[in-house]
Every structure is written in C-alpha cells, then in structure tokens.
Amino acid sequence: MTGLIIFVLIAVLLIGYIVTIYNGLVRTRNGVKLAWSNIDVLLVQRHDELPKLIEVCKQYMQYERDTLERVTQARSQVESARQSGDVTSVNAAEGALRSGLANLYAVAERYPDLKADAAFGNLAGRISALETAIADRREIYNDAANAQNVRIETFPDSVVAGMFNFSPSRLLKFEAAQTADVDVGLAFGK
C-alpha cells in the first residue's frame, strides 16, 4: 500500500512538473507572437504613411518616377511579407524598402520646394520615428524569440518541447545596410 501511495505521489509530481514546463513554453511562445504583433502594428503604420509621402513627392518630382515606383513596389513587398508572417521575407523586403527610402530622400535633396514642404517634413519625420520604433521592437522580438529558443533547447524543457512539437522561432535579422538609419536629414539639407 505504501508503495502505491509513493508511486501515485511521484506520478502526480511528475505530471505537475511537465505541466509547469509546458505552461512556461506556451508563455514564451506567446511572448514571441506578441512581440511580432507589436512589430506588425508599426509596419502597418509605416505602410499607411508611405503613400502619403509618395503623393507629396509626386507633386514636385515629375522626372523621378523610377524612384517613387521602387518605393511603392518595396512597400508592397513588405506588406506581403508582413501578412505571411515569414521573418525571412520581411528581412529581404525591409532591405528593399530602406534602400528605396534612402534613394527617395537623396533625390528629394534636388527639390528645394519639396524640402520646404511642411507635409513632406512631417511625413518624413513620422516615418523616421516609425523606423526607430521598428528597430526597438525588433530587439524585443529577438529577445522573446531567443528566450523561447533557449527553453526549447535546454533540458528538461527540450523533452517537453519535443513531446508537444514546440518549434524554434527565427530571429529577425537585417543586413548592416538595413540597420543604418535612413538619412532624413538629406531631405532637409542638413
């Protein structure tokens, strides 16, 4: 009888321990999802601001259609990648968009009236602020993804993670050129 009680007690403790690990893994997985959704919100906000910036630029930049079209195309690529939730696709699309914005601001330098336009200045400032916020949120996302990946790879969590098919999260990494600030100062002649 004592052996049965000890066995039941050990089984209950083991099940409780597994449940505790499982719940911790669920919390870290949901933390990654939350961090990604915070990035997603900012990407949507930037996505909404870019057409306004392009429209203001069109009024001044009659001969710079290629630059504007590249930004528009890159914006579409980011939106598609964002909707798919594929971190690798977001990385590539972000590179194209940041490059397009850098070119747009460089071209804007040749248009003094555009640089002086209040709408352009406000939109460029808003997009720059969103870029900074995206970089901050990317760091939070990577911290959450790393925490999840560490839990999935360490014992005994790795056993429970394997039993319940927890998969590692991809880190959101950008190339060096993508992480450099878009030089909004060019648009203002600084």
Convert the pLDDT of each residue in 112-154 to its tens digit: 777 777 888 888 888 888 888 988 999 999 999 999 999 999 9
State the CB neighbour count (10 A cutoff) for residue 72: 13
- Tally the domains of the chain: 1
Q: Is residue 32 part of a domain?
A: yes
Q: Are 118 and 53 in contact (CB under 8 A)?
A: no
- Tokens 């990654």 sit on residue: 32
Q: Is residue 9 part of a domain?
A: no
* DSSP string for residues in the chain: -HHHHHHHHHHHHHHHHHHHHHHHHHHHHHHHHHHHHHHHHHHHHHHHHHHHHHHHHHHH-TT-HHHHHHHHHHHHHHHHHHHHT-HHHHHHHHHHHHHHHHHHHHHHTT-HHHHH-HHHHHHHHHHHHHHHHHHHHHHHHHHHHHHHHHHHHSTTHHHHHHHTT--PPPP----HHHHSPP-GGGGGT-
Q: Are 141 and 36 in contact (CB under 8 A)?
A: yes
Distance (Å, whole) CA 67 – CA 83: 25
Q: What's the predicted TM-score (pTM) here?
A: 0.71
Range of the domain at 58: 23-184
State the CATH number of the domain containing residue 81: 1.20.1440.20
Q: Is residue 71 part of a domain?
A: yes
In sequence order, the 6+-apart residues with CB closer than 8 A to the CB of 173 are: 91, 142
Q: Is residue 158 part of a domain?
A: yes
Q: What is the per-residue pLDDT across 28-83, written as a single tens digit (0 to 9) for each?
A: 999 999 999 999 898 888 888 888 888 878 776 766 777 788 888 888 888 888 88
Q: Is residue 12 part of a domain?
A: no
- Tokens 């971190």 sit on residue: 87
pLDDT, greater one: 3 or 87: 3
pLDDT at 131: 87
State the CB neighbour count (10 A cutoff) for residue 99: 16
Q: Is residue 161 part of a domain?
A: yes
Q: Are 71 and 98 in contact (CB under 8 A)?
A: no
Q: Is residue 115 part of a domain?
A: yes
Q: Is residue 105 part of a domain?
A: yes
